[in-house]
Amino acid sequence: MMRCFSRSPDLRPVLLLAMTAGCGSYDNRGLEQFASTGQLVALSGGGAGAQGACLTCHGVDGGGDGTAVPRLAGLGAGYMVAQLDAYADGRRQHPQMQAIAERMTRRQRLLVSDYYAALPYRSKVEMSSPAAPLLYTKGDPERGLPSCASCHGLSGEGVGSGNPPLAGQPAAYLADQLHRWRLSLRRSDARNVMQQISLKLTAEEARTLSDYAASLSGYPPNREPPAASRAARHADPRNDASRPPLHEGG
């Protein structure tokens, strides 16, 4: 028990948690084991130190700040670790996130991504807005623009592990990302699809699409997704696809 109190002061919040989480009752779950979890990295910033503590900017629940800082809760672990790698090697540029990611070990990036992927995301939106921009649902074949929904889902829930949810992200953050792709400040996707897409959008379209995507529901837990996009669901914790199916449309 005493060894729980013998660490440096900046671990104090973690120690408190460690005490409630296991130090008291389980002899075999000491601080060492606790310290190797993604939760510790989120609380302590891992190699980035206290200034990099994820929760100070991304929120205790991983929900983001509603304006410039994206939510992490429920995003795909593979997507997040790829983004942290991209910040670390400069393919994705952002002063704060680059400084943080490059100080983390690869293992810390993996652990913290797993941690946030498993955090439940609670949508604040009741239902998807009915007035979807055509570009979102249908794209524009004449300009070679695929629909956003084909990769991000009709409810902005994301598709598979590489195409992230847009629902619940701040509109300004989404618009800023499209802008960054245009300027080649974000080169994180291997196939470069988002840069090609963003270069074809007018500034007005980028803003409209960002506002719309941010307002989407992303399938709130306990709600059946619209039948049209049910087929696009993947086995993914954020879609709650692991639970037994309810009624698959008859």
Choosing from 22, 30, 78, 94, the residue that interacts with ligand HEC (CB under 6 A) is 94
Q: How far is the CB of 245 from ligand HEC (least distance, A)?
A: 26
Task: Report the C-alpha gap between 230 and 155 in whole angstroms.
Answer: 10
Q: How far is the CB of 53 from ligand HEC (least distance, A)?
A: 6
Query: Alpha-carbon distance 75 to 167, whole Å?
Result: 11
Instruction: Check binding of 77 to ligand HEC (CB under 6 A).
Output: no
Q: How many CB atoms lie within 10 A of CB 237?
A: 15
Cα 52 versus chain centre, distance: 17
Looking at beta carbons only, is 29 or 138 nearer to ligand HEC?
A: 138
User: Is 238 a binder of ligand HEC (CB under 6 A)?
Assistant: no
* Separation CA 186–CA 96 (nearest Å): 14
**Residue 169 interacts with ligand HEC (CB under 6 A)?**
yes
CB nearer to ligand HEC: give 18 or 69.
Answer: 69
Direct distance between the N- and C-terminal alpha carbons of the chain, in angstroms, rounded to an integer: 57
For 219, residues 6+ apart whose C-beta sits below 8 A from its C-beta are 123, 155, 157, 167, 225, 239, 240
193 belongs to the binding site for ligand HEC (CB under 6 A)? yes
Q: According to the binding rule CB under 6 A, does residue 119 interact with ligand HEC?
A: no
Q: Which of 164, 168, 220, 225 binds ligand HEC (CB under 6 A)?
A: 164
Among 43, 80, 117, 171, binds ligand HEC (CB under 6 A): 80
Q: Which of residues 195-234 bind ligand HEC (CB under 6 A)?
A: 197, 209, 213
* 8 Å CB contact between 226 and 187: no
With CB under 6 A as the contact rule, the residue among 56, 137, 161, 215 that binds ligand HEC is 56
Cα distances (Å, whole numbers) of residue 96 to 87, 93, 120, 168: 9, 9, 25, 22
Report the C-alpha gap between 91 and 114 in whole angstroms.
22
Kindly state whether residue 155 participates in binding ligand HEC, applying the rule CB under 6 A: no
Of 192, 168, 204, 175, the closest CA to residue 75 belongs to: 168
Give the span between the Cα atoms of 62 and 228, in whole angstroms.
29
Interface residue with ligand HEC, options 15, 23, 97, 132 (CB under 6 A) = 97
Contacting residues toward ligand HEC, per CB under 6 A: 41, 45-46, 48, 52-54, 56-58, 68-70, 72, 80, 82-84, 92, 94, 96-97, 100, 112, 135, 146, 148, 150-152, 162-164, 166, 169, 174, 176-178, 188-189, 193-194, 197, 209, 213
